[in-house]
Structure 1
Amino acid sequence: MNRRIASFIFFTFIATTCQAAPTGNGIDIGVCYGLLGNDLPPAPRVVSLYKRGGIQKMRLYNPNHEALEALRGSQIQVTLGVPNEEIPKLANSQEAAQSWFTTNVEPYIQDIEFSYITVGNEAFPGQFGPSIGPAMHNLKNVLNEHNLHGIQVTTVIYSAVLANSYPPSAAVFTPEAASDMLNILQFLSDNGEPIMLNVYPYFAYAGDPANVRLDYAQFSATGPVVQDGALSYSNLFDAMVDSFIWAMEKMGFPNVAVAISESGWPSAGNGDFTTPDLAGTYNRNFMNHIIKSSGTPKRPNTYMDAYIFAMFNENQKPNGTEQHFGLFYPNMQPVYPIFP
């Protein structure tokens, strides 16, 4: 299949699935826009690529002002990140949170629909953990003062916060993460905000291919693979999400919603584990799974906002698979046809 046809099919599929998804509390797929490359196209061309593809949501990891300027009037919903290193400053005072808002959000608020502000990306366990809760609180106060109640404030976590994740019902947070998670989950519960999760079945499969089936990791299994009490799992993604849900429930927060801030599969960098075919299969099946709104075995028929990682291959990321998660090359040609 030539690249022009592949690109057309990709855009047609994205546009169709996004239109078919519910609006408002819907789950139309977003794509993460990473900027760790020295050969990436200018932001206006990137925004045009999103619009041509019907991609309705973008995740930005930091308030890149070139990207934000290009997003004005685009009607693309934006998830905007606070970089990890800025979290302590925002936690220290309401004034610092107001200054961050004044610089990075307020100039664009009339022209961009901001869905979420994410305070950090995988910022703990580690030095930033104790500051996340206070920073979220200060930012939420600023948004409320400006009557921007529709912008949700959250943070992004990943599997390192779990001491155990198999079976999902056995999952608990690590002792190192538990105290910070308590503060974060209390904030999210009090304000009706979701927790955002980076979920990568690829890493589980590549780390233990003898015990993790490929079809289980790629949403391709035709029946249950893992049985956890009354809950049956035919894909690893659901099992990983439910592990977080079980861990939250054990801390006393059974109703905090979940959004997927990243998921994807690299197309190169680790031999036969990372081919364009495998990456295309995973992302295609991931989109279908999310758009069906089927939820997970523990939370069936539940909408989840979700983002594919990532829009482009980024050559300034670490060597190996990290450079090959993109749907597109920097020349804006697709890495693989997302739809056969």
Structure 2
Amino acid sequence: MITMYKSRNIGRIRLYEPDYSVLEPPCLSDIQVLVGVRNQDVYQLPKSHIAAEIWVKNNINPYWPRVLFRCIGVGNDLIPGPGAQYILRAMKNLRNALLRHGYLCNHIKVSAAIRASCAFPIHHWLERSLKNDYALFSSENVAVKDGGLSCFNLFDAIDGALHAFMQKAVAPGVEAVVLESGWPSAGNGEFTIAKMARV
């Protein structure tokens, strides 16, 4: 898999959890890694800074700096939901653990995934457009125009809206990273909106 990534000049990879079969071999050099904290571990991290220390010791220390960790993603699909209440404290404990281990925050950031559809309302007309060329990246016409910005596809509109939301309502300068997107061609008649992460 890593050989295929490199052959196509893909410089970043997301691991949903620390996968030692991927992290152990030396082949990850030159690829930035976003490594996830398993959902079941997220519930333990807010309880004590010691749990976060152990997580960093077990999952970051053995591999850094050979593995270029770009980010730690806290949980998957926990926001929205009952697990969301644990995310912020888990992020803070992990960040403090990184600092105590000598990792500067500009080297390894701590993040959490949110669904783009939860960050801001998606209008009904936009949802109706999911099954057309706008969602499939094949539209030749501008579908959404906002001032001087033109969107030819659904991804551009969601990405632009999330950035605008974060600049005005959350924190200017906070980077958004695309973690994954659904595939409208999956054949099940449902369409998944791209998930974004705050870094």
TM-score normalised per structure 1: 0.49
CA distance in 1 between partners of 2:57 and 2:101 (Å): 11
Look up the match of 1:56: 11
Q: Sort the Cα spacing of 1:72 and 1:101 in 2 relative to 1 into closer, same or farther, 3 A.
A: farther
Q: Deviations over 1:178-235 (max 9, x none)?
A: xxxxxxxxxxxxxxxxxxxxxxx9xx5xxx4xx4462221333233212345543222
**1:125 and 1:160 in contact (8 A); partners too:** no
Deviation at 1:135, TM superposition (A): 0.9
CA distance in 1 between partners of 2:121 and 2:28 (Å): 44
Q: How does 1:27-38 map to 2 (within 5 A)?
A: none
**2:2 and 2:27 in contact (8 A); partners too:** no
Look up the match of 2:112: 155
Look up the match of 2:69: 114
Look up the match of 1:123: 78
Counting aligned pairs with the same residue, the percent is: 38
Deviation at 1:162, TM superposition (A): 3.8
Which AA in structure 1 matches 2:82?
Answer: Q
Q: Sort the Cα spacing of 1:125 and 1:71 in 2 relative to 1 into closer, same or farther, 3 A.
A: farther
Q: Which runs of 5+ in 2 are unaligned?
A: 192-196
Q: 1:97 aligns with which of 32, 35, 52?
A: 52
**1:72 and 1:111 in contact (8 A); partners too:** no
Q: Sort the Cα spacing of 1:237 and 1:267 in 2 relative to 1 into closer, same or farther, 3 A.
A: closer
Look up the match of 1:214: 132
**1:47 and 1:70 in contact (8 A); partners too:** no
TM-score normalised per structure 2: 0.80
Displacement over 4 Å in runs of 4+: none
Deviation at 1:123, TM superposition (A): 1.1
Q: Deviations over 1:69-105 (max 9, x none)?
A: 1355532211100012211211111110000011111
Structure number with higher helix proportion:
1
Deviation at 1:156, TM superposition (A): 0.9
Q: Deviations over 1:222-279 (max 9, x none)?
A: 33212345543222111112332343345342332211111252654337x99xxxxx
Q: 2:38 aligns with which of 83, 95, 98?
A: 83
Q: Sort the Cα spacing of 1:265 and 1:71 in 2 relative to 1 into closer, same or farther, 3 A.
A: farther
Relative contact order: is structure 1 or structure 2 higher (C-alpha 8 Å, sep ≥ 6)? 1
Deviation at 1:155, TM superposition (A): 0.8
Q: How does 1:174-253 map to 2 (within 5 A)?
A: 204=127, 208=128, 211-212=129-130, 214-228=132-146, 231-253=149-171
Q: Deviations over 1:129-185 (max 9, x none)?
A: 111111111111111222222011111111342461239xxxxxxxxxxxxxxxxxx
Q: 1:143 aligns with which of 88, 93, 98?
A: 98
Q: Sort the Cα spacing of 1:74 and 1:231 in 2 relative to 1 into closer, same or farther, 3 A.
A: closer
Structure number with higher strand proportion:
2
SS at match of 2:75: strand
**2:91 and 2:111 in contact (8 A); partners too:** yes
Which AA in structure 2 matches 1:157?
Answer: I
Which AA in structure 2 matches 1:251?
Answer: A
Which AA in structure 2 matches 1:95?
Answer: I
